[in-house]
Amino acid sequence: MGRNTRKRRTPLATKVVAGAAALAVGGGGLVWANFHASAHEENPAHNRTRSAAAQVATIDCPDVGQQIRDVPDRARGEVDGELATMDGQITDAYKRLATTRRAQAGDSRYVQNAILGPLGDRRKAVIDRIQLQVDRAGGKADADLDELAQCQGRPAEQPQDGDGQDGDGQNDGQDGDGQGQDGGQDPDDNGNGVAGPVADDFIDINDVQPGSRNSQNGLAADGDGGSTGTFTTDCGVNENDLFNSDNLIAAPGVDNGAHHVHDYVGNQDNDAFSSDEDLANADTSCQNQGDRSTYYWPVLRLQDGTEEFDADDLGGGADGNVGKILKPARAELRFVGNQQGDVVAMPKFLRIITGDAKSFTNGDANANSSWSCTGFEDRQVTDKYPICPEGSQVVRTANFQSCWDGQNIDSANHRDHVAFVQQDGSCANGFRAIPQLQVRLVYDIPAPTVENGSVRDPYAVDSFPEQLHKPITDHNDFINVMDEDLMNEVVDCINSGEDCQ
């Protein structure tokens, strides 16, 4: 990536929050309409979300970015920018969906005619520009991308194949009495209403069967054979309060490209406008100063009514991410080996995204969420937030892809240049084994309680608005900015079976 000379905006952590709450009428943020119908409306409480009787409609769009291949290098910046524009279009459409419930109740075609149809037209225009940019750069654009322009509406609790939604995208289970466009806010919605989470997103860890997580994604690459060493890097828990809602990997040069806020450890010059040169010259929070890598993940929030510093900001309250930001009590970053043999050095500036921020609508093909509790880590869940017993802490784990194509530090869809190990621990398709990054985040979180279909004191991961804070959308990002000597030390430790830090 070349240097981007566009001026950086002021980091979120340095902004002064306006006095009015983002989610209050007139407060400058989005008023999230609550359209959870519920029979349990006695004694409403501010810190409760309701799940159940009616489904929550959201917008389901094909992920164009995952389908793009063979984009010439000189067109990638423009293509990433157009994909970020599409994300913004979905966000805007979802906000309109969430704040027009009264209009929807009076017109069965409103969602299709006023939201989904115009959204499809705007997406088609962006796809046309992407195809033109690829062709101009000497590539051959995929003509089938046009088929991905149209979106549909579907209920939130609906299976990921999208069945069961009527043709006009209208949620027939909605009674239409939610607040939104006419102002007002239901005290039962945690201040985020439609954004979730809901009771069905939580599970008591005691109800999870040991060893029940069964996914090829996220397999630990290390084992008893092959390269058995480890290298641990200590980069803190974001003591410097470095937060932003950018995504340097997927949306370079785009302000608020993630539409949700990230925690950052390691590299301290990490926003959408950071070049490789910026990263290489930046300060680091890692104890080993040779590690300027950037490690980042969406923040967790406790939806307790707290007005955070970003309550009025894009990525924060204006994108439906509300409540108290929870830093991990521990952030453990460890590199391990490969079951089948030695590992090779990662190239500098290698980029890896693990998990999928859009798994709720995309399906679980790229999902790699793993939630548990201390003392119960033989029980892992992907699509639920765990409720941990007293004295136990919430754990988020991410085991990264550890097979590399041997050539590229990134790819057009930010996935094809790396892969997970196969079941036997080997790399397929001629890919080479590299050190596997394993991230373990431990949080002190008050246990939510679920009662009568409602959840009190929920916590949730920040997400794109239309993803409804589902736990399966958890993801983790990494850019390798270790100096050559340190990376060689990592490889030597792992291949020799030593435990280093």
What CA–CA distance (Å, rounded) separates 174 from 31? 18
Q: How far apart are CA 301 and CA 148, in angstroms?
A: 33
Please tell me the predicted confidence (pLDDT) of residue 9.
45
Residue 172 half-sphere exposure toward CB, CA atoms < 13 A: 5
Torsion of CA 475, 479, 483, 485, to 10 degrees: 50
* Distance (Å, whole) CA 415 – CA 204: 33
Q: 18 to each of 40, 243, 304, 313, how far by Cα in Å? A: 35, 18, 19, 10
Phi, psi of 478 (to 5 degrees): -150, 135
Task: Please report the pLDDT score of residue 32 as a whole number.
Answer: 42
Query: Of the candidates 246, 264, 265, which has an alpha carbon nearest to the alpha carbon of residue 255?
Result: 246
Query: 398: closest CA among 349, 358, 354?
Result: 354
As averages over each run of 10 residues, the pLDDT of the chain (501 residues) reads 39 34 32 35 37 55 93 94 97 92 87 95 98 95 94 67 36 36 39 71 95 72 88 98 96 96 97 97 98 98 94 94 96 97 98 97 93 96 96 97 97 96 94 98 95 90 95 98 98 97 92
Q: Give the CB-side neighbour count of residue 304, counting CA atoms within 13 A.
A: 14
φ, ψ dihedrals at 22, nearest 5°:
-65, -35
Name the nearest CA neighbour of 90 among 56, 64, 68, 108: 64
Which DSSP symbol is given to 347?
A: P
DSSP string across 289-314: TTB--EEEEEPEEE-SS---TTTTST
- What confidence score (pLDDT) does residue 225 get? 85
pLDDT the model gives residue 214: 59
φ and ψ of 117, to 5 deg: -60, -55
Q: Which residues pair with 476 in a beta bridge?
A: 354
pLDDT at 263: 97
* pLDDT of amino acid 465: 94
Whole-number pLDDT of residue 363: 93
Whole-number pLDDT of residue 26: 28
> How distant, in Å, are the alpha carbons of 100, 172, 457 from that of 24?
17, 28, 20
